[in-house]
């Protein structure tokens, strides 16, 4: 029995795929358009922003932290890059870099507050969540930035793939996942992220600079949010000051559904991709069924609690 248990992947790692299969089956039965190529393309477009945010979020949750500011920071990044291009007339690459710089700066701020002043990540990022939101509204005057250069929305262009239209942004998302997966799995720095989340004391005592690992993770997460900003601009074609509100919880839901433990040190990043797809499928399917968006929020809320409960119970069972 024990030998069998060791061979099977923990239930947490299968969870997102089971949930995905159930959701797909459900929507395939209840709606007739769900499995159409156009709809599947649409789901992927919708998933790419949350998906890339979820990479950053996974890194942070692996260190037993959490980032509540991710969606708001992403929105700020997209306002900065679109306004820098539209108002200041900066070339697209520079404007994009500025946007990513701002999100990375927010990551650095979160990281410094967590490592230097030892504040709980939950509180720190709740604070920066509000700060990022306020700056976004102030800087944009709560106005959508519409004058976006074409180059900035290039990642939203699509190419045909087996009847579906896949955007370059989706390809980028998949590449980023593969890169993050490789880094976490095959490099020393990646393994140290797991070690810090799993046992910070043991990690410090073997001489790994745990604070530097943590700080690096928060900055890296900020960079991923910045890339998500660009994808958000590419998908919608505008800089939207009200973006990021659903992405915030969706990204955390994706990570937890994906089997990464909120207690840190356990999880596989590719699970977060599956988790993000589950969230996307749910939102899309519910829309197809004509369910109002308020109920989608309700479902996401319930889903995240169910996923966290499964995580908690499976950890207890493992002990």
**By the criterion CB under 8 A, which residues form the site for other proteins?**
6, 182, 186-189, 191-192, 194-195, 198-199, 201-203, 205-208, 265-266, 318
Q: Give the C-alpha separation, 259 to 271, whole Å.
A: 6
Which residue number, 62 or 270, has a Cβ lying nearer to other proteins? 62
- Structure-token match 């000051």, residue found: 241
The CB-of-202 to other proteins minimum distance in angstroms stands at 5
Q: Give the C-alpha separation, 90 to 254, whole Å.
A: 35
The CB-of-312 to other proteins minimum distance in angstroms stands at 15
Which residue number, 17 or 183, has a Cβ lying nearer to other proteins? 183
The CB-of-318 to other proteins minimum distance in angstroms stands at 7
Which residue number, 291 or 308, has a Cβ lying nearer to other proteins? 308
Q: List all residues 6 or more positions away from 42 whose beta carbon is below 8 Å from its beta carbon.
A: 284
Residue 119: strand, helix, or coil: coil
Which residue number, 235 or 266, has a Cβ lying nearer to other proteins? 266
The CB-of-302 to other proteins minimum distance in angstroms stands at 28
The CB-of-209 to other proteins minimum distance in angstroms stands at 9
Which residue number, 6 or 141, has a Cβ lying nearer to other proteins? 6
- Structure-token match 């749910």, residue found: 282
Which residue number, 97 or 189, has a Cβ lying nearer to other proteins? 189
Which run of H or of E encompasses 159?
Answer: strand 158-161
The CB-of-127 to other proteins minimum distance in angstroms stands at 30
- In this structure, are residues 99 and 226 in contact, taking their beta carbons and an 8 Å threshold? yes
Give the DSSP letter of residue 161. Answer: E
Q: Report phi then psi at 141, rounded to 5.
A: 55, 30
The CB-of-185 to other proteins minimum distance in angstroms stands at 9
Q: List all residues 6 or more positions away from 214 whose beta carbon is below 8 Å from its beta carbon.
A: 63, 65, 111, 114, 115, 196
Which residue number, 151 or 205, has a Cβ lying nearer to other proteins? 205
- Structure-token match 């900066």, residue found: 90
Q: Give the C-alpha separation, 252 to 126, whole Å.
A: 14
- Which residue, among 239, 279, 235, has the nearest Cα to 54 in the 3D structure? 279
């Amino acid at each position: 029995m024990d030998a069998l248990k060791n061979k099977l992947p923990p239930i947490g790692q299968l969870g997102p795929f089971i949930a995905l299969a159930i959701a797909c089956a459900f929507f395939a039965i209840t709606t007739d358009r769900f499995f159409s190529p156009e709809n599947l393309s649409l789901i992927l477009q919708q998933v790419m922003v949350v998906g890339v945010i979820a990479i950053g979020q996974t890194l942070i949750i692996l260190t037993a932290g959490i980032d509540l500011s991710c969606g708001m920071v992403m929105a700020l990044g997209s306002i900065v890059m679109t306004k820098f291009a539209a108002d200041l007339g900066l070339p697209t690459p520079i404007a994009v870099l500025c946007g990513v710089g701002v999100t990375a700066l927010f990551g650095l701020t979160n990281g410094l507050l967590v490592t230097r002043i030892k504040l709980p990540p939950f509180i720190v990022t709740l604070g920066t969540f509000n700060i990022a939101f306020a700056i976004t509204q102030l800087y944009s005057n709560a106005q959508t930035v519409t004058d976006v250069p074409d180059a900035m929305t290039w990642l939203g262009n699509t190419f045909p793939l087996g009847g579906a239209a896949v955007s370059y942004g989706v390809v980028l998302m998949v590449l980023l996942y593969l890169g993050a997966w490789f880094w976490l799995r095959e490099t020393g720095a990646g393994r140290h992220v797991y070690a810090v989340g799993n046992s910070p004391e043991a990690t410090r005592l073997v001489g790994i600079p745990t604070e530097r690992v943590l700080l690096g993770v928060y900055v890296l997460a900020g960079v991923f949010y910045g890339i998500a900003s660009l994808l958000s601009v590419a998908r919608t074609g505008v800089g939207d000051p009200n973006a990021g509100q659903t992405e915030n919880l969706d990204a955390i839901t994706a990570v937890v559904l994906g089997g990464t433990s909120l207690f840190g040190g356990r999880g596989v990043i590719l699970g977060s991709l599956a988790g993000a797809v589950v969230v996307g499928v749910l939102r899309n399917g519910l829309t197809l069924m004509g369910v109002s968006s308020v109920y989608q929020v309700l479902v996401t809320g319930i889903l995240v609690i169910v996923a966290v409960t499964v995580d908690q119970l499976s950890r207890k069972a493992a002990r």
